[in-house]
Structure 1
Amino acid sequence: MAISLLASPPTLIRHSRVRVAPTMAAPITGDLTTAGEFKDHHPSLEVLGGATHSFCPIIKTHLVRPYNHFPVFGSNRHIETIFASFFREIPDVKLKRECLRTPDDGTVTLDWVSGDAGNLPGNTPILLHMLVRARNKGWRVVVFNSRGCADSPVTTPQMYSASFLGDLDAVVNHVVARYPKANLYGVGWSMGANLLVQYLGKEAGGRRFSGAVSMCNPFDLVMSDEDLCKGFNRIYNRSLAKALSGILKKHLMLFEDIGGDYNIPLAANAQTIRDYDDGLTRVSFGFKSVDEYLQNSCSANFIKYVRTPLLCIQAKNDPIAPDRAIPREDIKGNPNCLLVVTPKGGHLGWVAGENAPRGCPWTDPMVMDFLQHLENERSGTHQGTGNLLQSVNV
């Protein structure tokens, strides 16, 4: 799991409280239903949320146009997911790595966008495209890599999990201390989005964010786990399990003679994510079973408590983040949240728009417009003057 922070030069940044400003946007010109659904959008999109009045004018240019997937590559959710993962162009982004010790002596890494460093492993194309776009707008950018991810060192017998927020809190504290006058923004993809939304809803530190975006969030990990055990989705399950067990195998010496309920051989040779979680994750974080761990790691349980401006973007045909898991009623009831659902997109695909098929995903321009507007309202400028935190899964 990786998380990134973006910030503009601190001399251009002014601090402001994290809340939805009443002057954020002009009154919406489109039609709204009483249930919080925005009707003045193209019928190919689903748009709803308690923040429709505030947020829809910001991104209306994206909402009124049809979502046209790219032929062939965007026609099937599995083809789109795989194509975007393996064949999307990789921008040339120079990153400078910083290792950060956590309070329990664990280690995470921060990859700062820089003009004088080299390319680093593990960062996905969908993340890098967003970094380039934000950096070109004048934002300062940093990627947070969880323990073991993107070749981050592992220094304690504990990996990351879908519910542990301590490392994210340590990173937020570190970045805020370095740039105390900057506004902080977060973007999360996949499991990183799940972690980010939990943080916004559960932790006091979440209120230091001036805005956030969640994309391809599984929301309900029990439902996601069920779907990963069906049909072609088993391929994703095995692939993710292989990646997780591969990280563990690099650091097996830390887990020698660990005792307790750990089953390190099961985790190291996991055929499914559930195997890995049963052998390692649920034990590390004090859960009696994998089901208990998953039930307590669902960001759907906390989105009603989010007090930060939050844009959620999902794909209706996502094979990993199922459409039925989206907490629509809670999003409608939260005046800080807006949901946009595209008819296609797969998982982290969105092979559509003027940059398709190999360029940035359809979501990037919308996300940047949303964050830039929030920053302009808070800083009183029309330039990029904020920090952005981004999160993606392995």
Structure 2
Amino acid sequence: MPAASAAAHPSFEILGGARDRFLPALSHLSRPYRPFPLLAANRHVETIFAAFFRSVPDVRLRRECLRTQDGGAVALDWWVSGDARRLPPDSPLLILLPGLTGGSEDAYVRHMLVRARSNGWRVVVFNSRGCGDSPVTTPQFYSASFLGDMREVVSHVTGRYPDANVYAAGWSLGANILVRYLGQESHNCPLSGAVSLCNPFNLVVADEDFRKGFNNIYDKALTKALCKIFKKHALLFEDIGGEFNIPQAANAKSVREFDDGLTRVSFGFMSVDDYYSNSSSSDSIKHVKTPLLCIQAANDPIAPNRGIPREDIKENPNCLLIVTPKGGHLGWVAGEAAPRGAPWTDPLVIDFIQYLERGAVKAPETSTNPGSKEALYHLEV
């Protein structure tokens, strides 16, 4: 079946203003979506299996800690295995944004690292403050609302490789941040293309579902990870005053509790609902001018199907949405690599970016942020 006819395949929901433009290039869609039989019956089984039993490729990374304008720091992990240092200066560059509490050690991130590098691309993982052992140097972490670090990372990377087209792929919270960035930068975005995977889109809807039934398991696991990061740096928040509730954040039993005690106060929101409502990337889709592929799973327990901004995606000539019937959250245990190999989505991401790269028009040039300093240090990991 040719790729162009994939829209008629019953396995997928495919829509978007860029459907006719991008769909023929996605050869991976010519194959039916076949989830691994033993995992397909339950979205939670697939989600948990992928989180705990997916293989983790062994890769060699070079860590660069980038000091931000406000005195904070983020960690950029660059692929350095093999001939990475000898790539031409105009080789395409891919920035990876992991999900909440995620980093370059996560299986889904590493599989994308390997696949992108095998195609001759430079790859770097953007570890948010405190994630992936990224240093925390100020009493502020990261959030769904904050785009300052994203802007500085993109500015730094594009400034270092001015001849390269730069792309980005984000998962879950990283996808939400990425799409919000695309919307806010709009006509001035220096990225040549982007991919959003498992994006919760509407954080109010996601929060509602997150507190129901079996989803409490994910809530508790993510809260535990957030509290662990926080406690490593709790001294930074001593005597901070204001509306902060540091004991509540340190001992939170839910992500919502953590966000109420710390996150929403750090970023100036009146309440958790105010924070979620004003940090949702569903409101940004209509402003996106950069080619954007959104990949979702219809049965995702953390990024609800009902939260996808379908109408705005349909009307935007730069966006394409693909919804698989199954996949769970960060799962997609299907295809030739199943059950322990790369997610089914990885070849689709490659198809999309390679298509953009073949016909790429250089993204608008942006000056490197004068307030952004070069790397503080490098660390082999």
Shift of 1:373: 1.1
Name the CA distance, whole Å, in 2 between partners of 1:302 and 1:281. 21
Name the CA distance, whole Å, in 2 between partners of 1:121 and 1:186. 15
Q: Which residue of 2 aligns with 1:104?
A: 70
Q: For 1:258-273, what aligned pairs fall within 5 Å after superposition?
A: 258-273=240-255
Q: Which residue of 1 aligns with 2:365?
A: none
Structure with the bigger RCO (C-alpha within 8 Å, sep 6+) is 1
Distance 1:275 1:130, change over 3 A: same
Distance 1:296 1:99, change over 3 A: same
Contact 1:201 1:306 in 2 (8 A): yes
Shift of 1:62: 2.5
Q: Which residue of 1 aligns with 2:160?
A: 178
Q: For 1:72-83, what aligned pairs fall within 5 Å after superposition?
A: 72-83=38-49
Provide structure 2 residue ranges, at least 5 long, that are not aligned to the other structure: 85-101, 363-381
Shift of 1:51: 0.3
Which aligned segments of 4 or more residues in structure 1 are displaced greater than 4 angstroms? none
Name the CA distance, whole Å, in 1 between partners of 2:167 and 2:188. 10
Q: For 1:137-148, what aligned pairs fall within 5 Å after superposition?
A: 137-148=119-130
Name the CA distance, whole Å, in 2 between partners of 1:214 and 1:110. 19
* 3-state SS of 1:74 partner: coil
Shift of 1:44: 1.1
Provide structure 1 residue ranges, at least 5 long, that are not aligned to the other structure: 1-27, 31-38, 381-394
Deviations 1:157-215 (A, max 9, x none): 00000110000101011101100111110101000000000000012586211110000
For normalisation by structure 1, the TM-score amounts to: 0.84
Q: Which residue of 2 aligns with 1:306?
A: 288
Say whether residues 1:49 and 2:31 are aligned partners: no
Name the CA distance, whole Å, in 2 between partners of 1:121 and 1:208. 23
Q: Which residue of 2 aligns with 1:16?
A: none
Shift of 1:306: 0.3
Deviations 1:308-333 (A, max 9, x none): 00000000000000000000000000
Match of 2:35 among 65, 69, 72: 69
Q: Which residue of 2 aligns with 1:156?
A: 138
Shift of 1:63: 2.4
Name the CA distance, whole Å, in 2 between partners of 1:126 and 1:279. 30
Q: Which residue of 2 aligns with 1:87?
A: 53
Deviations 1:334-366 (A, max 9, x none): 000000000000000000001100011110111
What letter matches 1:161 in structure 2? S
Query: How many correspondences in the alignment?
Result: 342
Contact 2:50 2:333 in 1 (8 A): yes
Name the CA distance, whole Å, in 1 between partners of 2:4 and 2:206. 37
Match of 2:270 among 284, 288, 313: 288
Name the CA distance, whole Å, in 2 between partners of 1:121 and 1:355. 22
Q: For 1:227-238, what aligned pairs fall within 5 Å after superposition?
A: 227-238=209-220
Contact 1:41 1:65 in 2 (8 A): no
| Identical pairs, percent | 65
Distance 1:162 1:40, change over 3 A: closer
Name the CA distance, whole Å, in 2 between partners of 1:91 and 1:205. 37
Distance 1:113 1:227, change over 3 A: same
Q: Which residue of 2 aligns with 1:349?
A: 331
Contact 2:294 2:321 in 1 (8 A): yes
What letter matches 2:330 in structure 1? L
